[in-house]
Amino acid sequence: MIDLWSGFAVLRDGQQYAAPLAVAVAVGFGLGVERVTRGAGGADAAGRALGAFAIAVPLVLLPSLAWGAAGRLEPVHYPGSWARARDIVRADRTAGDVLVLPWATYRSYGWNGRRTSLDALPRYLDRRVITSDAVVIGAKTIPAEDPRSRALDEAIASGRPLTEPLRAAGVRYVAFDSETGPGNPDRARLAGAERLVDDADLVLYRIPGPARVREEAAPLAPTVIAWLVAIGVTLWSFLPQALAWPLAPPAPLDVERPPDAHCDRGRGGRPAGRPRVVRRRAARQRLAERPGHQAALQLRLSVTQPLRGHASRGRVPPTSP
């Protein structure tokens, strides 16, 4: 699919569907348990047993996730060198971006047990962080979405000194959050930059006098139109419910059966006459006197599905014998 269109790359990470799936499972699971445990006068013994079984199913199927995967899930704290680098960047009044090397999207931090994760510096620092967000799938590389990243890709991949190209691009800091050892060849490409932090977990350089770069903003008109369309579709999906709220729910029906002494009985001792169904007069009167009822009824008829003929005329169809 990605060979046909690079936009399908957003579908490659299955964990991004976990949040909507959790909402659907939570709501559906609760409704399902309520449905199976609902009886004529409450939950019977079989329904209660089925409800208890449904609650125990997640623990039975995924016992290793109980209590944080038996203690294997625990928070990881950022190293002290990261906090020092953040304080330095935050206290600096000179404008400029932060470039992160190595030029890759994923990391395997030693302080995180060498688990593969996204580069964490863009979410840790307060300034704009430039990193490679290109997607590599097998032998195919999808270009980065960030225009600053695409503009610096050639200079970083060239192997030539980086200080002057980065200064001209408005980069104030260069951070190495992986491969921080002195043998990293990219460290030698920053001649003239000041090294502020040199630790096993992070190395931070500051480039003097970065240029002021004016970045072109996204086109205003298409952005506003897209937002208006999205908001309009969302509001239109709720319009039928919003127009129908003044209408009262269907009035309950009273079923009056002839007294046993005055009706014929058929086979099995059941009354042979047909029950007479009437609508409560008080409920019908309250519905007619409700403010805005007639106007809301007309709007509902024009927007939502047409009401049945007998309901719009206020009559109840005769019941079948």
Within 13 A of 165's CA, how many CA atoms are on the CB side?
A: 17
Instruction: Considering only residues 71 and 185, tell me which one the structure prediction assigns the higher pLDDT.
Output: 185
DSSP 82-143: HHHHHHHHHH--S--EEEEESS-SEEE-GGGTT-EEE--HHHHSSS-EE----EEETTEEEP
pLDDT of residue 321: 43
Name the residue with tokens 């704009």: 128
Contact 207, 233 (CB under 8 A): no
Interval 219-227 mean pLDDT: 85
pLDDT confidence bin for 291, thresholds 50/70/90: low
**Contact between residue 199 and residue 79 where contact means Cβ atoms under 8 Å apart:** yes
> How many CA atoms, within 13 angstroms, populate the side-chain half-sphere of residue 98?
23
Write down the pLDDT at residue 232. Answer: 87
pLDDT at residue 242, as a whole number: 62
- Please state the domain extents for the chain: 6-71, 80-206, 220-312
Average pLDDT, the chain: 75
Q: How far is CA 35 from the centre of its chain?
A: 28
pLDDT in tens, 144-191: 778 888 889 999 999 899 999 999 999 999 999 988 888 899 999 999
Which residues does 127 contact at the CB level (< 8 Å), separation at least 6? Answer: 89, 96, 97, 98, 172, 173
Count CB atoms within 10 A of the CB of residue 246. Answer: 16
The single residue listed with the structure tokens 């030029």 is 103
Break the chain down into helix, strand, coil percent, rounded to 5: 50, 15, 40
Chain segment 47-56, per-residue pLDDT in tens: 677 777 777 8
Q: Which long-range contacts (C-beta less than 8 Å, at least 24 apart) are formed by 24-31?
A: 29/54
Residue 273: predicted pLDDT: 47
pLDDT of residue 200: 92
**Local confidence band at 279 (pLDDT 50, 70, 90 cut-offs):** very low
Residue position matching structure tokens 């944080």: 68
Q: Average pLDDT of 115-136? A: 88
Q: What is the pLDDT of residue 173?
A: 97
User: What pairs with residue 16 in β-bridges?
Assistant: none
What was the pLDDT predicted at 177? 92
85 pLDDT above the threshold of 90: yes
Residue 186 burial (CB < 10 Å; 0-12/13-18/19+)? Answer: middle
Window from 80-94, 100-114, 211-225, 248-262 with minimum mean pLDDT: 248-262
Cα–Cα distance between 210 and 98 in angstroms, integer? Answer: 11
What would the mean pLDDT of 288-315 be, rounded to a whole number?
50
Is 60 exceeded by the pLDDT of residue 207?
A: yes
**What is the pLDDT averaged over residues 240-248?**
58
Angle, CA 173 vertex, CA 167 and CA 174 arms, to 5°: 95
- The per-residue pLDDT for range 18-70, each reduced to its tens digit, is 888 888 888 887 787 777 766 544 556 766 777 777 778 777 877 777 666 66
Which helix (DSSP H) or strand (DSSP E) does residue 173 occupy? strand 171-176
Lowest mean pLDDT among 30-44, 201-215, 239-253: 239-253
Query: Of the spans 18-32, 52-66, 81-95, 115-129, which averages the highest pLDDT?
Result: 81-95
Report the percent of the chain where pLDDT is more than 70: 63
What pLDDT was estimated at residue 319? 46
Residue pair 128/144 in contact (Cβ under 8 Å)? The answer is no
**pLDDT higher for 282 or 185?**
185
- The interaxial angle of helices 293-303 and 281-289, nearest 10 deg, is 80
Q: Which residue has the tokens 């302080």?
A: 111
C-alpha span between 285 and 46 (Å, rounded): 43
CA separation (Å) from 226 to 102, 231, 236, 267? Answer: 36, 9, 15, 69
